Structure 1
């Protein structure tokens, strides 16, 4: 009996240590996405299901840029990465505050995108997210985009994470198309020897209340991040040093909104202006009271 109890105790200790080591591998993989990267963005529509002879597929997109991925938060169960895109000539670069990705360990609070600027709050059972990380992706103004939970996989020298979730249209499509309103995103993030890749297999979906989803078309995305010397991204680092306090206030306000743990719906415009147009003005909205009031004005 004593031997059995000892075996169970040793097994529990071993399992706990393995879980801790796995978590450290996960954390390293996530933080390996930080740094300065030459990035390529590639998207191509693959299949079309509309049955409409006049349907026009989205054009193939090839783009590239220089991007700095800044480590914003590195705590026990949360890692936050801010992407900053560097555009324009080397002599006078312009910084675009790009998307942000937060990774939360064994997170039970999920905002699942529905459609038309609405997100459904879901409380996940602890048993379903054991050992998993939720990736939470945010717009340039730190408003929500999409979230999904899955395990990081480390095998055969590879580290990757995969998840399928609903998302709003990407900006490259949102400004061009109105024939669908949801993207079902199959995301694959994989760490490579020289950086990382973000691979996507997406459905373009028409979603309406109380109706089944209609898949209009599908697309393939393949974005590569090749690491270069950090000095090439100095302009983005300087931008973040100058503006990080403002964006900390913005994130704090959104955290307060998310902590309400209820369904969320956002207005597309206030006074005929979208949220990012307000917040990306570097000379405006520096104070907490102004930021809080602005974001509140967009929450229905």
Structure 2
């Protein structure tokens, strides 16, 4: 009986130690994610690296380099979910609602991008996502882009998260190309002493209705976020204060659509106008019924 009590005591102590270690790890994860908030000078760099198609008429995209000032707003901060909105500042006063990233702990529900404007719903087991964070990335109109799950790694004084996932064409490509319809992304976020880096190694893929892929080329992406004083992003603060209620209504509407837990197919345009074109024309006090109606018009199923 004495030996049994000792074994039980040791097991309880080990479980407590393990729980404490897991709690510390999760706190490290959260600190890394939230450290991406704030005001940043950003360098955007993209260049094709290898041509893999045999089509001799294939023309690579031009190398892209751009700079900007971006505010990353902490919109939602819960123990298992963190929402961050990127706001691009153009010419000191003009604000462009940019992409959004959500992080959810041990999430089992995913929308996998298929091609064009369609996503496939899938579920994972709890064992598959233990200790992992799902990153969801959304378009400027809060419609889906891509998402994936992976483990944050903290080693040698750095923190990073890496995932492989399919995504739609980025806007810089969407306006100039139609010869591929999937961008497979090696998507990595690394926290640095000066800010953070969004590092990508991408494949440009032509996918048919049966899911057969032809890789046309590979691409390198490197977005460097350098932390600067928050005072440089005052214009973004003002914009978000005036418009956050409307964009919450938009997020809430999309969430009801995602909660259907089924494949999603969207219209690219309605009456020759994109969804972001409709939403960007609205004022911050636009009622939810109006934004709901606009979003519903883009849902095929």
TM value normalised by structure 1: 0.97
Distance 2:285 2:260 in 1: 24
In structure 2, relative to structure 1, the CA distance for the partners of 1:285 and 1:57 (3 Å cut) is farther
| Corresponding residue number in structure 2 for 1:112 | 112
Secondary structure of the structure 1 residue equivalent to 2:115: coil
Corresponding position of 2:204 = 204
Whole-angstrom distance in 1 between the partners of 2:143 and 2:55: 35
Pairing 1:61-140 to 2, within 5 Å after superposition: 61-88=64-91, 90=92, 93-140=93-140
3-state SS, counterpart of residue 234 of structure 2: helix
Question: Among 26, 46, 53, which residue is 1:23 paired with?
Answer: 26
Equivalent residue of 1:114, what SS? strand
Structure 2 Cα separation of the partners of residues 206 and 284 of structure 1: 39
State whether residues 245 and 284 of structure 2, in contact with CA within 8 Å, keep that contact through their aligned partners in structure 1: no
Cα-Cα RMSD = 1.0
Deviation per CA, 1:41-67: give whole Å up to 9, x if none: 000000001212221101111100000
Alignment-derived partner of residue 45 in structure 1 = 48
What is the alpha-carbon distance in structure 2 between the residues aligned to residue 62 and residue 296 of structure 1? 36
Range with bigger deviation, 94-103 or 203-212: 203-212
How far, CA to CA, are the matches of 1:211 and 1:22 in structure 2?
Answer: 38
- For the residues of structure 1 that align with 2:192 and 2:80, how far apart are their CA atoms? 24
Could you report, residue by residue, the CA deviation over 1:255-281 in whole angstroms, capped at 9, with x for unpaired residues? 100001011000111111110000011
Question: Counterpart of 2:127 in 1: which secondary structure?
Answer: helix
Shift of 1:284: 7.6
2:58 to 50, 55, 58: 55
Preserved CA contact (<8 Å) 1:41 1:62: yes
* TM-score in terms of structure 2 length: 0.97
**Structure 1 gaps, min length 5:** none
Q: Aligned partners of 1:15, 1:211: CA distance in 2, in Å?
A: 42
Residues 175-190 of structure 1: pairs in structure 2 closer than 5 A: 175-190=175-190
Contact 2:244/2:284, CA 8 A, preserved across alignment: no
Runs of 4+ in 1 over 6 A off after TM superposition: none
Q: Check conservation: 1:36, 1:229, Cα contact below 8 A.
A: yes
Cα deviation, residue 149, structure 1: 0.2
How many residues align structurally?
A: 297
- Which stretch of structure 1 is more off in the superposition, 38-47 or 6-15? 6-15
Question: Cα deviations across residues 118-167 of structure 1 (Å, max 9, x unaligned)?
Answer: 00011110000000000000000000000000000001101000000000
Ranges in structure 2 where 5+ consecutive residues have no aligned partner: none
Question: What do the CA deviations read for 1:153-184 (whole angstroms, capped 9, x no partner)?
Answer: 00110100000000000000010001100000
Kindly report which structure 2 residues correspond to 1:139-218, keeping only aligned pairs within 5 A, or say none: 139-218=139-218
